[in-house]
């Protein structure tokens, strides 16, 4: 069985993001980057599936991006991926084009399962998994909080606005990981050392036969500031006075 884990390289979510003065881009070049936290959860799930199944399971982490991405892909190997692949690309791709590239890669690799994060914490679009499933014509289970495999059937819990939904579907399928699917492990030091020696495969986008056609044009960006000043109250009575009085909310 082969599981592909698409990942995205994002700015560490703890960093403060600043837009350039002209609003054309974000000043992130010197900030630390990590694997998108939701993709780390997806990778952990793939590794757990391999650990729980006696049959041969190969976990392939893939990312689309610049050479610097190799650092994050190496940490994917340290956590347990069997192979890591960088699809070389130096432009920012929108969700549609990311999906087109991943589809071409999936067509080449013929996995049984694609597990990826439900959204990237920079773009917050929550689209790629669904686009990919549509392009492949595969069933999808988005916002997964629990995954069970039996034979070639998947049994998945999804977190929805209404609560937990349980679905089942055959493979091949796409799963997008939600927060509570698992808690990703820390790579052990020996694993990190071993990963340093592993080769990160490199694929040129041209060999995948994908023509990049932008669907989303970013016109400008800006950072949001909080314009509120907090009135500190000393007790409940004062709070009620404020809410009934100037706030006019009670």
Partner 1 sequence: MQILVIAEHDSAELRPATLSALAFAQSVAQATAGTLQLLVLGHELASVVAKGVKYSPVFVADSPELATPVADRYAQVIATVVKDQSIDLLVAASTSQAKDIVGRAGGLLGGAMASDVTGHSFEEGELQLERPIYAGAAVATVSLLGSPKIVTIRPSSYSPAESKDVTNEVHNLTIESSSLPNQIQLESVESKKSARPDVTEARVVVSGGRAFKNSEDFERIVGGLADALEGATGSSRALVDAGITPNELQVGQTGKIVAPELYVALGISGAVQHLAGMKNSRTIVAINNDLEAPIFGVADYGLVADVYEAVPELVRKLQQQAN
What DSSP line would sit under 31-97, residue for residue?
A: S-EEE-HHHHHHHHHHHHHHHH-SS--EEEEEEEE-GGGHHHHHHHHHHT-SEEEEEE--SPPPHHH
In this structure, what is the dihedral angle of CA atoms 81, 84, 90, 91, given to the nearest 10 degrees?
Answer: -50
Instruction: Pick the closest to residue 201 from 106, 105, 84, 75 (CA basis).
Output: 84
- Told to check if 220 binds partner 1 by CB under 8 A, we report yes
44-52, 74-82, 201-209, 224-232 -> range binding partner 1 (CB under 8 A): 224-232
Question: Angle formed by the axes of helices 128-136 and 95-109, to 10°?
Answer: 50
- Told to check if 36 binds partner 1 by CB under 8 A, we report no
Please say whether the dihedral angle defined by the alpha carbons of residues 216, 11, 144 and 64, taken in this order, is positive or negative: positive
- Told to check if 159 binds partner 1 by CB under 8 A, we report yes
Dist. CA 144–CA 160, nearest whole Å: 9
- Told to check if 132 binds partner 1 by CB under 8 A, we report yes
Min dist CB 229 to partner 1, Å, is 8
- Told to check if 190 binds partner 1 by CB under 8 A, we report no
- Told to check if 69 binds partner 1 by CB under 8 A, we report no
- Told to check if 223 binds partner 1 by CB under 8 A, we report yes
45-53, 67-75, 78-86, 155-163 -> range binding partner 1 (CB under 8 A): 155-163
Min dist CB 203 to partner 1, Å, is 22
Which of residues 56 and 224 has its CB atom nearest to partner 1 in the complex? 224
Of 109, 122, 146, 149, the one binding partner 1 by CB under 8 A: 122
Dist. CA 2–CA 62, nearest whole Å: 13
Give the contact letters, 45-64, x = binds to partner 1 (CB under 8 A), - = no.
--------------------
The answer to whether the CB of 34 falls within 8 A of the CB of 8 is no
- Told to check if 21 binds partner 1 by CB under 8 A, we report no
Of 125, 149, 198, 208, the one binding partner 1 by CB under 8 A: 125
Min dist CB 119 to partner 1, Å, is 7
Query: Which single residue is written with the structure tokens 């403060």?
Result: 16
Give the contact letters, 99-118, x = binds to partner 1 (CB under 8 A), - = no.
x------------------x
Dist. CA 54–CA 116, nearest whole Å: 23
39-47, 54-62, 160-168, 186-194 -> range binding partner 1 (CB under 8 A): 160-168
């Amino acid at each position: 069985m082969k599981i592909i884990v698409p990942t995205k390289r994002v700015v560490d979510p703890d960093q403060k993001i600043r837009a350039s003065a002209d609003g054309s881009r974000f000043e992130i070049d010197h900030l630390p980057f990590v694997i998108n936290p939701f993709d780390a959860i997806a990778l952990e799930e793939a590794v757990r599936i391999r650990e729980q199944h006696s049959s041969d399971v190969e976990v392939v982490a893939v990312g689309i991006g610049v050479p610097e991405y190799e650092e994050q892909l190496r940490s994917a190997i340290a956590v347990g991926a069997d192979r890591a692949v960088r699809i070389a690309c130096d432009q920012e791709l929108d969700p549609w084009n990311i999906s087109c590239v991943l589809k071409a890669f999936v067509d080449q690799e013929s996995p049984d399962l694609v597990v990826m994060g439900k959204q990237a914490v920079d773009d917050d679009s929550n689209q790629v998994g669904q686009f990919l499933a549509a392009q492949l014509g595969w069933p999808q289970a988005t916002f997964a909080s629990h995954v069970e495999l039996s034979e070639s059937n998947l049994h998945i819990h999804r977190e929805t606005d209404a609560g937990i939904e349980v679905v089942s579907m055959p493979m091949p399928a796409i799963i997008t990981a939600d927060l509570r699917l698992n808690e990703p492990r820390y790579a052990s030091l020996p694993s990190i050392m071993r990963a340093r020696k592993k080769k990160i495969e490199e694929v040129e986008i041209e060999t995948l036969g994908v023509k990049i056609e932008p669907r989303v044009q970013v016109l400008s960006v800006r950072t949001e500031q909080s314009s509120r000043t907090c009135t500190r109250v000393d007790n409940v009575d004062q709070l009620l006075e404020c809410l009934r009085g100037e706030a006019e909310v009670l």
